[in-house]
Structure 1
Amino acid sequence: MNTSTDAGAQLAYSPGPTASETAESPLLVKYWQVFLGHRILVASIIGAALLISIVVTLLATPQYTASSRIEISRKDENVTNVEGLRPEEVGQDLEFYQTQYSLLEARTLAERVSRQLGLANDVDFLERFGIDRDGVTAAGDAAAKGPRSSQRERVAQATIDVLLSRVKIDPVRGSRLVDIRFTSPDPVFSAKVSNAWVNQFIQGNLDRRFASTADARNFLEARLRELRMKLEDSERDLVTYASNKRIVTLSSQQTDDGRTETGQTLVTADLQALNEALAAATADRIAAESAVKRAAAVSKDSLASPVINALRQKRAEVSADYARLTTQFESGYPQVQALASQLQNLDASIAREEGRIAGGANAAFRQAVQRESELRARVDKLTQEYIGQRRDSIQYNIFQREVDTNRQLYDGLLQRYKEIGVVGVGSNNISIVDPAKIPDRPSSPSLLFNMFVALIAGIGVAVISVVIKVQADQTIKDAATATRLLGLPVLGSIPRMDNEDIIASLRDRKSVASEAYLSVRTNLSFLTDHGIPKSMMLTSSRPNEGKSTSAFAIAETLARTGARVLLIDGDLRNPSQHGFVDLPNNAGLSNFLSGQDDVEKLIVDVPENSLKMMTAGPKPPNAAELFSNDRFRILIERTTEMFDYVLVDSAPVLGLSDAPLLASVVEGVMFTIESGGAGIRGVQNSIERLRLTDAHIFGVILTKLDKASSPYGYGYGYGYGYGSKDGDEDALLDRRD
């Protein structure tokens, strides 16, 4: 009687809410439904967290927070125009302020504060923060340096730990301001520590600056001593070498890069002077040589001689008188002869004077040649000496460069040594903006803040708890999960009924339960090619999953259409169908299986309904043996001829063999699953057992479904336009199942 019709494909056309329920719900809707399903657990965890926060707040000791504000500049105001030891770029780095914040939280700063306030010897402080005289804090002896640490050291370390645990450095975003907050049970002590923290931070910054300056001065002093000795040695080597090589420097100059350039030495000065003298002597010799060559003619020298010029002037006058008298007198005239004799004497004097001048030119030429020769010899000698000195100047320049290098290093370090002595004149880069004041009200505990934190923590714990519970939950809770895990269509989703009479609810056609089973009946009409199957069996993996209630409800729903319907109670071990309508269970299925052939006598009418029922009958000692024969097959064949539809309420599958034996006889099986009831492994094993008997499983009926487990709720799916008696549209199954 099994059919090969694809029930899953037919169910794709089913109307009503089942198609939407079997579809995959949105992720957020799933999460919301999960939390709604565990709302009691979530509310309990959050409520417990809030209650704990209130109790803790009321029992906590009030804490007072004092805050002081400082400004940290990136670099100092330098009134001396002298650079510090660190480059200016350090103040512009992004790491600068992070370094300052870390210094504000440094252990050494806490130690300075503790030492300034004398906290290690303050009995009130030690008692207030749980530090005993042995240096053990409330958290243990973790602050001790080691087994050999003295009592005083352990107390000091514990004091520092308390300060560090209660101080908070809070930079003001987008500014150079920093707030230093300290919290303690005593408001006066909080203000005192906050101010001391700021003062010691400023003092520590100055101490580090002067300490680094002192270290630099000591280093520079040692380097200066070394460089001074090297400079003296290099200068001594330079002077010694110049003395040995007779290198006498007359002038030198310093270049921009600090090198010494030798301008002129004694040899170069002498050589230059002799060259100039030699050039002059050569010119004189050439002039004397030219004068000698003009000895026979009237030279420029004779013309320039005043004596010769006077004699020539006298001769011209005498010659003029002589020419005048010769025109008047004879040559023998005494005056003429006297003038002629006078002319001869003048010519002789001129000749003698010109001879003397010519002899002087030769002497001057000889002197000029001699002087030129002497100067040339001296120049040649100095040239050779200059060439040798140039060779010696290579090593001289090496000594000179070493002297220059040592002098530059020495002068630079000496200048730096003088500068760092006045670096401290620059103002401190840390200034106090607002000193700490004594707080007038406690900063903690805050009830609202603690409740908010508890709310967040409670929500987190609740989420984790729900996630763990959901992950550990191996049950089926909704139609989409059933379809995905079992591969079977969901014929219907039946709501839970805890407080309603199942019979009255089913017979009320406006009730949620009636609408739910009406949807199942509608889906049954699409299961086979001839509509609703003629014979069907309902079973489940374990008891109390709603199979008996569903069997009765489906049978009654089919009977409303006027069809002839027979409901057979096939659960011989735990019969329940007769209890729904208060029928006697004196005779029924067990009688027929035992051999009674009159079927009509075993069928009874259901009051107030056209439904027919065959009760289970007396409990047999072994139900499995009764189902092993063909009597049940014969019963199904006869009843399907007598009725339009035959429904069998079978026993559960797990642990019993009744359901597999009956499943192969009927046309198909509807498997009932309690929402959040049986585990998925048990359901899968039950379905697999039924399939081993070649049973045709039509689909799944999901029962006892909470409203929170459905993505869309039952108010929309089943109660639309009808409502419910009590205003609650949750569907509930009878507890008698």
Structure 2
Amino acid sequence: MNDQFAPVPSGSHPLPALGHAGMPIAYAAAAMSEADTQESVLRHYWRIFYKRRYAIMAITAACVGLALLMAMLTQREYTATVTIQVDREAPKVINVGGVEAEGSSNSWNNEFYQTQYSLLKSRSLSEAVVRDLRLADNYEFLSGYRPNDVTDLKALSRTRRFQIATGIVNGNTVVSPIRMSSIIDVRFVSPNPSMAAAVTNSIAEKFIEENLNRRFEATAYARQFLQNRLNAVRTKLEDSERKAADYAQAQGLIKIMSSGGSSGGRSDGSIASEDTLASQDLSQLSSQLASARTARVQAQADLGGAAGGQAAQAATMNPALNALSQQHAELTAQLSKLQSDFGPDYPTVIALKAQIGELDRQTSRERGRVTSSVISNISGKYRAAVAAENGLQARVNSLKSAVLDQQQRTIEYNIIQRDVDTNRALYDSLLQRFKEVGVAGGVGTNNVSIVDRALVPGMPSKPNLRLNVMMGLLIGLILGAVAALVLEQLAEAAVLPADFQRKLGVPLLGATPKLEVAEMDRAMVESKSPLSEAYFSILTSIQFSTSHGTPKTILLTSTQPREGKSTTALALGLGLASVGAKVLLIDADMRNPGLHRVLGKPLGGGLSNLLTGDGELDQFVEPSGTANLSFLTAGQVPPNPAELLSSDSVERIIREASEQYDHVLIDGPPILGLADAPLLSRVAEGVVFVVESNRTRATQARHAIERILAVRGHFIGAILTKFDEKNMGYGYGYGYDYNYGK
């Protein structure tokens, strides 16, 4: 072992940088930065799962076994499926609207189908199926095909059995709509395959039947409602008509239907109106007055400028005048001929002139008679026209007063008549709708049809052994992983090499392997053992912790008892002694001394005696049996060790030991709950913190370190003891393997 560790002369190495409270942050054994040694996330979780692999496997196996057990114990269930089609609108047999709402929007479409799904799961439909199949009296169905429960069911009332059967049907019915279609799969689960098919088909049939019943009931309700409204409106119409007739009779108003106006319409498209008798008389007289006025104007015109023309026309058409004109023309022709032949003095010519003159006189007299007759006739017509016009005008004036009076009295009548017209229009509309609803309700169309009837299933749908095993395996792995993480978090003991610096804030000097108690003694003295190699590696790290090599005085402490602190102190002492250094081991744990047991020596006088001033150092130091290694026991247990350690005697004793020995190793007490270790850290050049792997919690270790730092103790580093790298999930390459070369 001497060739593995040699004393380093003072000043041979530069002083490393110091961190908080003078603690070194760079070491030969921890030269890599924290970022370089930071464990990856995947490896971190892999280490946890590998460490807890037995727990994970146990939980997974338990879950798989439980899944298999449940599959074997679970009752076989069969699922039957019926496929139905639910159209939004029923086929139109007649072009008459029913009472159901119609729509085309997507929201209405979704609402409609959601309603159908709810109806398929309704209690009323389940009750109809129970009545159809008489399931309330089927004790096997009610008991879930468990014979032991049949006896208890027979003691129940039929009403209670009916409720149980309804709940079973409703609870085991599954509605599965096919997306983007009007197809719906309805499933029923039962331990009996025949019953599953029967109930499923009954659900579809009763759904169709209830759908028709709802349509008929809706139509019947609408007809009843319309009938009641018709009766009420008819009564109001009769009352309003009776009121209108009574008022007309009281006021003497006689209404006569006539074309024109705007009161109502006729079948031929003409407009009809109601007028009073006086109004119609006034209208007729007004027409006659207009005709009379026209005749009077025409007669007046004839009497004026047109009289001469009519007289000429009458003369032209007079036979006597025409005969005289013709005779005058003949005599004139003869006169002209004879006069040209015989001259004007010819007797015949003279006679003809006399005849012509007579004819002219007769013609003049006749023309005057005709003109006088025409003028007399026109004057008579004019006077008659004026008389007729005046008579009609007088009658019109008389009727105007009567009509105006009637119009004043007709205002109230028109108000009553409008009420009559409104009631009549409402009555006609309700009557038409009543007829349409009656026709639509009697058609009996349905929008639900069965696409595929349910068949008796040949294979059970539950339990699914493969699915159960897969689910058990998956759940087991998940629960196992969760359990591993929870255990790791709860234990909080994994102060491991990868996260040592991050969790505790002190560098890791090294780790010692976990050995059985029987192997410890042999491993301590065997130079090639993994334990010895580990401690020599730790000594190397300690050597590089200061500028002058290994500190003169080192305090070894831990968070709690039995973390390997005394063993570590002895191993480090043996290592230093093996290279020729003179070493003194001091057992400073005066509450629970243990170093003497490790060395196999009796507990005699020691440190407690020196602190009380009873003797000198040389009187109590004993040889250990190993060259260059001596030890000082704790001595007798004092009543208050902290009081002794707080005195100046501690510093004097440590200084005296440092003068006599190359290195002084102080095996101190645990830190938590005690003031001893912080007091000792003040007189030690460096403090080595011992942490037992998988036992000391990180929070406990941090709290202990903070107590040492609070009194300005100088940490050299920490040692991880009893580290089982394989069971911790590290394996070769991260843990310490000192068997290389053997």
TM norm. shorter chain > 0.5: yes
**In the alignment, which residue of structure 1 is the partner of 2:298?**
287
**In the alignment, which residue of structure 2 is the partner of 1:63?**
77
Question: Can you list the C-alpha shifts for 1:282-318, whole angstroms capped at 9, x where unaligned?
Answer: 3432333344345995644544542464265157337
2:582 is equivalent to residue 595 of structure 1: no
Q: 1:633 to 1:409 in 2, by over 3 A?
A: same
2:231 is equivalent to residue 218 of structure 1: no
CA contact 1:318–1:339 (8 Å) conserved in 2: no
**In the alignment, which residue of structure 1 is the partner of 2:4?**
none
**In the alignment, which residue of structure 2 is the partner of 1:359?**
376
Question: Can you list the C-alpha shifts for 1:675-710, whole angstroms capped at 9, x where unaligned?
Answer: 442456755665566567654444443433454897
Gaps of 5+ in 1: 138-149, 727-737
Q: 1:309 to 1:115 in 2, by over 3 A?
A: same
**In the alignment, which residue of structure 2 is the partner of 1:550?**
568
Q: 1:320 to 1:291 in 2, by over 3 A?
A: farther
**In the alignment, which residue of structure 1 is the partner of 2:55?**
41
**In the alignment, which residue of structure 2 is the partner of 1:491?**
508
The CA distance in 2 between the partners of 1:708 and 1:271, in whole Å, is 128
CA contact 2:174–2:187 (8 Å) conserved in 1: yes
Q: 1:643 to 1:616 in 2, by over 3 A?
A: closer
**In the alignment, which residue of structure 1 is the partner of 2:19?**
6
CA contact 1:569–1:577 (8 Å) conserved in 2: yes
Instruction: Give the CA deviation at 1:225.
Output: 1.6
Q: 1:429 to 1:591 in 2, by over 3 A?
A: closer
Instruction: Give the CA deviation at 1:179.
Output: 2.3
2:65 is equivalent to residue 51 of structure 1: yes
Q: What secondary structure is seen at the aligned counterpart in 1 of 2:211?
A: helix
**In the alignment, which residue of structure 2 is the partner of 1:665?**
683
Q: 1:200 to 1:506 in 2, by over 3 A?
A: farther
The CA distance in 2 between the partners of 1:698 and 1:62, in whole Å, is 69
Q: 1:293 to 1:179 in 2, by over 3 A?
A: closer
2:248 is equivalent to residue 248 of structure 1: no
CA contact 2:80–2:200 (8 Å) conserved in 1: yes
Q: Which amino acid in the other structure matches residue 329 of structure 2?
A: E
Q: What secondary structure is seen at the aligned counterpart in 1 of 2:438?
A: coil
Residue pairs, 1:207-356, within 5 angstroms: 207-238=213-244, 244-251=252-259, 262=272, 265=275, 274-293=285-304, 299-307=311-319, 309-310=321-322, 313-314=325-326, 316-317=328-329, 320=332, 327-329=344-346, 337=354, 340-356=357-373
The CA distance in 2 between the partners of 1:503 and 1:20, in whole Å, is 35
CA contact 2:559–2:700 (8 Å) conserved in 1: yes
Q: 1:70 to 1:283 in 2, by over 3 A?
A: closer
Q: 1:345 to 1:549 in 2, by over 3 A?
A: same
Q: 1:674 to 1:57 in 2, by over 3 A?
A: same
**In the alignment, which residue of structure 2 is the partner of 1:157?**
163
Q: Which moved more, 1:267-276 or 1:657-666?
A: 267-276
Q: What secondary structure is seen at the aligned counterpart in 1 of 2:103?
A: helix
Q: What secondary structure is seen at the aligned counterpart in 2 of 1:160?
A: helix
Q: Which amino acid in the other structure matches residue 415 of structure 1?
A: Q
CA contact 2:289–2:392 (8 Å) conserved in 1: yes
Q: Which moved more, 1:549-558 or 1:196-205?
A: 549-558
The CA distance in 2 between the partners of 1:13 and 1:101, in whole Å, is 74
**In the alignment, which residue of structure 2 is the partner of 1:77?**
91
The CA distance in 2 between the partners of 1:461 and 1:386, in whole Å, is 104
CA contact 1:133–1:155 (8 Å) conserved in 2: no
Instruction: Give the CA deviation at 1:157.
Output: 0.9
Instruction: Give the CA deviation at 1:430.
Output: 1.8
Q: What secondary structure is seen at the aligned counterpart in 2 of 1:432?
A: strand
Q: How many residues align?
A: 702
1:452 aligns with one of 440, 450, 470: 470
Instruction: Give the CA deviation at 1:72.
Output: 2.1
Q: Which moved more, 1:552-561 or 1:507-516?
A: 507-516
Q: Which amino acid in the other structure matches residue 428 of structure 1?
A: N
Instruction: Give the CA deviation at 1:334.
Output: 6.5
CA contact 1:547–1:672 (8 Å) conserved in 2: yes
The percent identity for this pair of structures is 33
**In the alignment, which residue of structure 1 is the partner of 2:721?**
703
**In the alignment, which residue of structure 2 is the partner of 1:172?**
178
Q: Which amino acid in the other structure matches residue 50 of structure 1?
A: V
CA contact 2:325–2:363 (8 Å) conserved in 1: no
Gaps of 5+ in 2: 1-15
2:422 is equivalent to residue 405 of structure 1: yes
2:390 aligns with one of 346, 368, 373: 373
Q: What secondary structure is seen at the aligned counterpart in 2 of 1:433?
A: strand
CA contact 1:515–1:719 (8 Å) conserved in 2: no
The CA distance in 1 between the partners of 2:208 and 2:574, in whole Å, is 92
Q: 1:434 to 1:661 in 2, by over 3 A?
A: same
**In the alignment, which residue of structure 1 is the partner of 2:459?**
441
Aligned-pair Cα RMSD in Å: 4.5
CA contact 1:67–1:435 (8 Å) conserved in 2: yes
Q: 1:330 to 1:361 in 2, by over 3 A?
A: farther
TM-score, normalised relative to structure 2: 0.79
Residue pairs, 1:680-719, within 5 angstroms: 683=701, 686-687=704-705, 690=708, 695-707=713-725, 713=730, 715-719=732-736
**In the alignment, which residue of structure 2 is the partner of 1:733?**
none
Instruction: Give the CA deviation at 1:647.
Output: 2.1
**In the alignment, which residue of structure 2 is the partner of 1:147?**
none
Q: 1:432 to 1:578 in 2, by over 3 A?
A: same
Instruction: Give the CA deviation at 1:407.
Output: 3.4
The CA distance in 1 between the partners of 2:319 and 2:593, in whole Å, is 183
CA contact 2:82–2:201 (8 Å) conserved in 1: yes
Instruction: Give the CA deviation at 1:541.
Output: 2.8
CA contact 1:493–1:705 (8 Å) conserved in 2: no
CA contact 1:539–1:650 (8 Å) conserved in 2: yes
Q: 1:542 to 1:283 in 2, by over 3 A?
A: closer
CA contact 2:558–2:670 (8 Å) conserved in 1: yes
CA contact 1:567–1:614 (8 Å) conserved in 2: yes
Residue pairs, 1:412-427, within 5 angstroms: 412-423=429-440, 425=443, 427=445
Instruction: Give the CA deviation at 1:454.
Output: 3.1
2:113 is equivalent to residue 97 of structure 1: yes
CA contact 2:79–2:187 (8 Å) conserved in 1: yes
Instruction: Give the CA deviation at 1:590.
Output: 5.1
CA contact 2:315–2:371 (8 Å) conserved in 1: no
Instruction: Give the CA deviation at 1:203.
Output: 1.4
Instruction: Give the CA deviation at 1:85.
Output: 1.6
Question: Can you list the C-alpha shifts for 1:495-549, whole angstroms capped at 9, x where unaligned?
Answer: 5513494576678899876676566556545654545432111112322112223
Q: 1:9 to 1:419 in 2, by over 3 A?
A: farther
Q: Which amino acid in the other structure matches residue 546 of structure 1?
A: G
